Amino acid sequence: MRANRTLEIGTGLFVLLGFAALLFLTTQLPASGLKLGGAKAGYHVTAEFDDIGDLKVGSPVTMAGVRMGEVTAIRFDAKDYKAVVTLRFDPQYNEIPEDSFASIQTEGLLGGKYIGLSPGGLDTYLKDGSRIDQTQSAIVLENIINKLFASYASKGSEQGAGSADQGKPAGNPGKAESRK
């Protein structure tokens, strides 16, 4: 009877520890959607992109490798057929030039997407409600591979058509030469 009770207590502690680990992990994931704190301080800026790839709400916004904020919203503009991304910058980063350049980049070869900023040269700075006009859309790996294969296939078919004439004698290809 004593061994059975020890087994039950051990199993209960193991399950409790598992739930605690699961709770910890869900609060550490940036795109988990679980927000334990209130709205973070800072200012919001928008940028429009033709293609955002798999950019998600909660993705970082960086400049020179330093995290300056995060993506807070993504919506589709049906009038311009573009993705409108709302970025929140931490309050200490309040001197980002207005003409800065925003591009969607990838962490590593197959990593997640984030927004990388390149500083502009103006003396006026982004403020709450500003818009970043200069953007570069995400580079989608699948599109590059498809273009590569299409290019390779078209070159292969051109070479195949040219090699069909090889081995035939020069002159009139339809008639054999007659000997006298």
pLDDT digits (tens, 9 = 90+) for 52-77: 988 999 999 999 999 999 999 999 99
DSSP states along the chain: -HHHHHHHHHHHHHHHHHHHHHHHHHHH-TTS----S-PPPSEEEEEEES--TT--TT-EEEETTEEEEEEEEEEEETTTTEEEEEEEE-TT----BTT-EEEEEESTTT--EEEEEE----SSB--TT-EE-EEE----HHHHHHHHHHHHHHHHHHHHHHHTTTTSPSS-TTSPPP--
pTM over 0.85: no
pLDDT at 162: 54
pLDDT digits (tens, 9 = 90+) for 79-119: 999 999 999 999 999 999 999 999 999 887 767 899 999 99
What residue ranges do the domains of the chain occupy? Answer: 1-35, 43-140
